[in-house]
Amino acid sequence: PFEEILAIKDIDQRVQAMRYGDVDKFFEHTKAEMVSASEISSAKLYFIPREPSCVFIQDAYFARYECPSTGRIYMSGIEPEVGKKKNIDEAMAWKHNMIVGDYRKMVLVGNEA
């Protein structure tokens, strides 16, 4: 259960435990708010405020996305300054160390294949 996973003090152990949890249940458990959904992919950006959850030491943003080759669902933490822009395509571009225009082109070309 996510209550137990989030209670793990060692961050490396917590990250490993989260790899085996259901991403959508994590968002339900933390009462995350979806703040952006991509028009070109299945990616979504979620926001979890520091208060009242106290799960995180600061406001947190996470991207939820699907691997196009395996269909597996992943989540990834997003730098808060990027997340505050509330644009999932920009967050995914940041994640891949790209500018948003190049990220969008990459996704659109990938969807054509």
Q: What whole-number distance in Å separates Cα of residue 48 and Cα of residue 54?
A: 10
- Give me the pLDDT at residue 38, please: 96
Maximum Cα–Cα distance for the chain, whole Å? 44
Structure tokens at 80: 């808060």
More confident residue, 7 or 104: 104
Reported as type and span, the H/E element at residue 66 is: strand 60-66
pLDDT of 97 > 80? The answer is yes
pLDDT of 54 > 70? The answer is no
Select the highest-mean-pLDDT range: 42-51, 65-74, 84-93: 84-93
Q: Are strands 60-66 and 73-78 parallel, antiparallel or unpaired?
A: antiparallel
- Segment 21-39 shows an average pLDDT of 89
Select the highest-mean-pLDDT range: 8-12, 57-61, 85-89: 85-89
